[in-house]
Amino acid sequence: RQRERMEKMAKDLEVAFKGEKSAKEKIDAIRVEDEALLGSIGDGVVAVDKEGKVMFVNRAAEEMLDFKSEQVIEKPYEQILEMQNEKGEILVKEKNPLYQDLNSGKKIVTDASGTPEKTIYFVKNDKTKFPAAITVAPVILQGKTIGAVNVFRDITVERRIDKSKSEFVSLASHQLRTPLTAIKWYAEMLMSKKTGKLGLKQKKYLDVIYDGNMRMIKLIDIMLDVSRLDAGKVKIRNELSDIKKVAEIIIEEEKVNIKKRKQKFVFECEEKEMKTVTDPNQLRIVFQNVISNAVKYTPEAGRIVCSIKRDGDNFLLSIKDSGIGIPKDQQKRIFEKLFRADNAFSHQPDGNGLGLYAAKATIENLGGKIWFESKEGEGTMFFVTIPIKN
Ligand code: ADP
């Protein structure tokens, strides 16, 4: 009886063993397949566990970062994946996407279209570096983040093309600016009648020339602003500035348009002056855009309320209009370069979609923020914060 029992047990064990062996073989086969798949893609892939230790590196990552997988497996990722910003400073933990991802469990994407300051550089084993576009996704098992996968590619070529495009725009704009300024001066001279009285028709034609020229100057100026921003060449000249005054000057300049459109424009500011250390010329770009947009995208007899308040450590400028609004499905693209919403085209054919892009990059350079709330057909409210510094 005992022998029979032993034989049965041996048989059971054999069956169990075979089952396990085939399960293991299956897992091995899947693993080999996965590794072959990950190994053959062109983008670099680095996977880390929840402590940030490297679990897997594919062939492309080995080549791009110039090391062998055996050298790095099980090591903390900071040792092999040094990330830097444009200035060559190592990204602190809070700014490192891999760490951010492990902490938040949210996918993080940086693309090739970011401004230079936002580009992340990967440092290779030999200490040379390259700009990278990266996607970091959390690995989630049963609701818990157990690691992260970083997929990245070298965007040196994209950056080079982008740079030469920007340089071309910058060169063309500079060359155009000089003759346009000359046209403006001479037109103003003719208009001032110092050179003789103009007939009614001559005056009318001259006005058309003047308006067209001013439009071109504005376009060239914003193109120059954008190319300086894209090249990271904006120099901030901080000084103690009254931001209330900056806003007032722009509102004054917009008065002609406000009057033309018979709009009601209210400016609210309880304090006599609102001083902080910032670059008033840069701030002008931001205020000019949100204020002129409110006027531009509000139909005749509409109402606009602009206010500046203290809000904690910031001054907060808000501008509310009763204009055409921004369609919900297009709101997330509003700060993109050259983007214009569909309804903006029909309301105001003239526009370039560069203003808000420049405004956002500029206010971020000054340490502030810009955002908006809007409802199509009802109106829009833009907000701008400016840090209070003494
Ligand atoms: P532009 O005004 O030259 O088109 P901007 O970059 O200043 O370019 O603005 C981008 C787009 O944002 C506009 O084309 C328009 O669709 C939308 N927009 C901006 N401000 C407003 C506003 N106050 N009301 C409605 N739409 C706006």
Return the ligand 1 atom nearest residue 334 CA.
12
pLDDT of residue 41: 82
Which tokens go with 239? 């000084």
Q: Which residues line ligand 1 (CB under 6 A)?
A: 289, 293-294, 297, 321, 323-326, 334, 340-341, 344, 351-357, 380
pLDDT of residue 114: 56
pLDDT of residue 80: 77
pTM of the model: 0.74
Transcribe 213-243 into DSSP letters.
HHHHHHHHHHHHHHHHHHTT-PPP--EEEEH
pLDDT of residue 117: 58
Helices 355-365 and 280-296, packing angle to 10 deg: 150
Write down the residue that tokens 């034609």 correspond to: 205
Best substitution site from 220, 254, 261, 326 to test ligand 1's pocket, by max atoms within 8 Å of Cβ?
326
**Which residues of the chain, if any, have pLDDT below 50?**
none
pLDDT of residue 296: 96
Report which secondary-structure segment, H or E, holds 175: helix 156-191
Distance 293 CA to ligand 1 centre (A): 6
270: helix, strand or coil: coil
pLDDT of residue 21: 73
Distance 351 CA to ligand 1 centre (A): 8
